[in-house]
Amino acid sequence: MAYQNPRPENWTGRVSNQELYLHEKVKLISASSLPKTEEKAIAILGYSCDEGVKRNQGRVGAKEGPNAIRKALSKMPNHLSNTEHVFDVGDIVCFDTDLEKAQELLSEQVFALLQKNTFPILLGGGHDIAYGHYNGIKKYLASKNKNRTIGIINFDAHFDLRANLDGSNSGTPFYQIAKENTTFKYLCLGIRKDANDAQLFKTAKEFKVDYVLRNKFALFNLKAILKQLQIFIDTVDKVYVTIDLDGFSSAYAPGVSAASPMGFEPNVVMACLKIILASKKVISIDMAEMNPKYDRDGQTAKLAASLVHHVIHTKF
């Protein structure tokens, strides 16, 4: 079994009987039973997999990330109207180390969620989530007979452009996407020189990747960042946003697969999300590398949940 229904135990908290909290607002439904809606709807889908992290020699435990984020999100306040809906549609689960099958199933599920007129928010899981996620978006746009350019905006310390010559992992998704598509539009925000070797910078140059180094990805440089971001958004038709939680400093996100104190801080990400979401081009979003095994007081789960909370209330 590679699909798991949503779990009620992830959605608990203070009871108001007025839907003041998200656990009272979110509806749990199997992905196959999710109806197509003409009203505004968000679908939360988990990617319970850390096989890619294991293959990439990272700290395993990210397969428990989706549920940790849900539990933190459930207690947060709900400010949505009655015509705005949020569904938890369960998880794609990686079994028997079959990462490629999990990515394939994830792609199919993203495609199905987009067909049902929902906005997918995916919770990971390793950053190999990006390969399946992107392909689901690509398939959906192709089904509409629309030749749309997909721009990838990645908040991350790493390019994740490693060659997949020995198989795919959490460090190869954007290399795979680049090699399989004639058009590759990729902007990486928060890249660290101490986390990417010279070959990765060379690969980024070959694929014409746009990026902002971590030492410039900060509020003091916000005007320049937003200008670069807007230029990128203007060159694409649709935007896929992926947030790798290990890009944040471990002061904010200790519970990740590859923690470092040298990462960026949340406010610069929030400022970027404001302009990205305002573009109305965002088609889907995910959070990657949440690893509750190494979290401290649920801090990383709360950070991820706050980002999801912001997206949910800004998207509508």
Residue 264: domain span: 3-315
What is the value of pTM for the model shown? 0.97
**Is residue 156 annotated as involved in ligand binding?**
yes
**Is residue 210 annotated as involved in ligand binding?**
no
Cβ atoms of residues 4 and 91 within 8 Å:
yes
**Is residue 246 annotated as involved in ligand binding?**
yes
**Is residue 158 annotated as involved in ligand binding?**
yes
Which pLDDT score, from 0 to 100, does residue 1 have? 59
Cβ atoms of residues 44 and 89 within 8 Å:
yes
Per-run averaged pLDDT (10 residues), the chain, 316 residues: 93 96 98 89 97 95 98 98 96 95 98 97 97 98 89 98 94 98 97 98 98 98 98 98 98 96 97 97 98 97 98 89
Looking at the 3D structure of the chain, how many domains does it have?
A: 1
Which pLDDT score, from 0 to 100, does residue 38 have? 79
Question: DSSP H helical segments within 220-298, as ranges?
Answer: 222-234, 266-278
**Is residue 244 annotated as involved in ligand binding?**
yes
Q: What is the CATH number of the domain that holds 290?
A: 3.40.800.10
31-85, pLDDT tens digit by residue? 999 998 878 899 999 999 999 999 999 999 999 999 999 999 999 999 999 999 9
